[in-house]
Amino acid sequence: MLILTDKAIELKIEQAEIININSKIINFCTSCFNCWTKTPGSCVIRDDQVLIYPKIAMAKEIVYICRVKYGCYDVPFKAMLERCLPLQQPFLRVFQQETHHELRGVETKDAIIIGYGVEAEEEKEIFKKLVERNAYNLNLGSYKVIFAIESEVEEILLKEVSEKWIKQ
């Protein structure tokens, strides 16, 4: 299980790797598309993200914990997700009557997305729709979106992964 978070998590969860993206150096995607043309499947920006996106590709169970701003992932998390472009190919496919990029070795995964820092129902609905749209390109077979106040994130994380994935 892979847990990607923009919030420091003090928990130790058996069978999980927790990556706090705020403790990593992740530059913004420059849209050079070299990961499609010159170095297929590999980003040319040499920072910590080149170690993260292969883990995302291989994970079968993934948890995203991120602050929600204006119905979207906050900046650090959005930058990390955008830098996953090497996991897609420039070739297109029809998926559920829509055009999407072919994926490059990305496992189908179950996901839990915990968004915090949002109270307005309109923002929550926008975020749910965003996750729904991203689910295609992230190869999420199933996912669950949960909203929390920041102080409850660890409690919700432990409850959700214990019920769903941790072998008792």
Say how far apart CA 42 and CA 13 lie, in whole Å: 30
- For domain 2-164, give the CATH number: 3.40.50.360
Structure tokens at 3: 């847990």
Supply the pLDDT for residue 167.
Answer: 63
Supply the pLDDT for residue 15.
Answer: 87
Structure confidence by residue, pLDDT tens digits, 108-133:
999 999 999 998 999 999 999 999 99
- The answer for residues whose C-beta is within 8 angstroms of residue 35's C-beta and 6 or more apart is 41, 42, 43, 44, 85, 86
Record the pTM. 0.92
